[in-house]
Amino acid sequence: MAETRRADPASPRTANLASVLRALRAGPLSRTQLAARCGIAKSALPGLLADLAGRGLVRAAGVRAGNGRPSRLVELHGEDAYALALSIEADRLSAVVTDLGGRMVAERAEVVDVAALGLPRCMDELAHLARRVLPGTPVGVAVSVPGLVDSAAAVLRLAPALRWRDAEIAGLMAARLGLPAEAVAVDNDANLGALAEAVDGVGSELFYLSGGTAVGGGLVSGGTILRGARGFAGEVGHIAVDPSGERCSCGRTGCLQTKANLAAVLRAAAAPGDPLHDPALGVGGRVALLKQRVRLGDQRAATAVHELGVALGVALSTVVDVLDPDVVVLGGYFAELGDWLVEPIRVELAARPLGHARIVPSRLGLGAPLRGAAHLAAERLFANPTLVEEASV
């Protein structure tokens, strides 16, 4: 590829191109609106728009009638600018390709035992999956992982569910896909779930609580993931919720983690040997069975889910005090059980002096982290539109 047309990402012109492209991410705009949103002189717009159109990233979008003259609209194009989202979970690998507007182009998933496969072979499999869905070179890649991510270094520091430590996911994936390392981002699944919910319009100061084999959390403030100093922000698994509870792996007693991980809830919901504990059902199957039991009035299952709600409510009352989100989204398997969790959580929060955040189950369900990864992958182009070459005339 010719590099001559690729501008310095820090140049004022690139910053203006990026500003225009970002403004269009929420939908079509007139030139007057664009100039105002971007703080760019209207006289500079034609040149910028011609540049972006030459790269295939924007196009005319018809005319909007108004009070005065009808105004010509501009919208994102970018059907050939692909964002690649990848996800590693304990029992599955997934790949999704979207276009610049976030529309799904292709997707594929594979059931594997990631811990048994090990890091290098898992990366091989995931790259193989990616190549099968990608129609061309992606503008950016983001990988969702269930663990603590040092986002500055793009390294997965610790993922107990995968039995990985200090895994250099970005570098490994970039090498396999023939991309520069900076083209691949890595982030925690709950962070990406939070981003997806915020992009979906659920809230702008948002806390995403993720239920699975572990309990995780992600924060978005003003559209941006808050990662903290090392990238570990959002951890809520060790908030004390039950002084008389189980001993936690951290050494304390009654951490949220001990009450809210899926296995613990299933143990509370049914006796040993019950089909609810059958690993062959997979996570989705066991959660569906639990839902069915609660719906049919199984008292033990209903009590287990109610107690989960109370534990989540106690932990969330601290989270709400510290972060003051406008909304808490229940993600992962908590989303499936939302009908029975929201009420006990609300009761706990209502008793707090400050607790007035909305509590909503995720509408994106288990797919939220992958949606967030697609958004993050596209970010790279929105930050520097010159990554896509102008078409030669």
CB atoms inside a 10 Å sphere around CB 270: 20
The answer to whether 162 contacts a second copy (rule: CB under 8 A) is no
Q: Is 111 in the site for a second copy (CB under 8 A)?
A: no
Smallest gap, in angstroms, from Cβ of residue 388 to a second copy?
20
Contacts of 251 by beta carbon, 8 Å cutoff, 6+ apart:
none
Place of tokens 């929060």: 349
Q: Which long-range contacts (C-beta less than 8 Å, at least 24 apart) are formed by 270-275? A: 270/300, 270/301
Based on CB atoms, which residue is closest to a second copy, 78 or 211? 211
* Three-state secondary structure call for residue 312: helix
Residue 331 to residues 63, 94, 297, 337: CA-CA distances in angstroms? Answer: 40, 18, 24, 10
Provide the minimum distance between the beta carbon of 381 and a second copy in the complex, in angstroms, as a whole number.
Answer: 18
By beta-carbon proximity to a second copy, the closer residue of 39 and 279 is 39
| Helix locations, 97-229, DSSP H | 114-117, 119-133, 169-177, 189-199
CB 225 within 8 A of CB 187: yes
Of positions 22, 108, 175, 232, contacts a second copy by CB under 8 A: 232
Which of 23, 48, 133, 357 lies at the binding interface for a second copy (CB under 8 A)? Answer: 357
The count of chain residues that interact with a second copy, using the rule CB under 8 A, is 48
Nearest distance in Å: CB 82, a second copy:
28
Bridge-based pairing of strands 327-332 and 358-361 is parallel
Interface pattern 310-329 for a second copy (x via CB under 8 A)? -------xxx-xxxxxx---
Please, which residue, 144 or 317, has the CB nearer to a second copy? 317
Distance CA 12, CA 155 (A): 31
**Residues 177-216, interacting with a second copy (CB under 8 A):** 203-205
State which of residues 1, 2, 3, 39 lies at the interface with a second copy (CB under 8 A): 39
- Contact residues toward a second copy (CB under 8 A) are 10-12, 15, 36, 39-41, 148, 203-205, 217, 221, 226-240, 243, 250-252, 317-319, 321-326, 351-354, 356-357
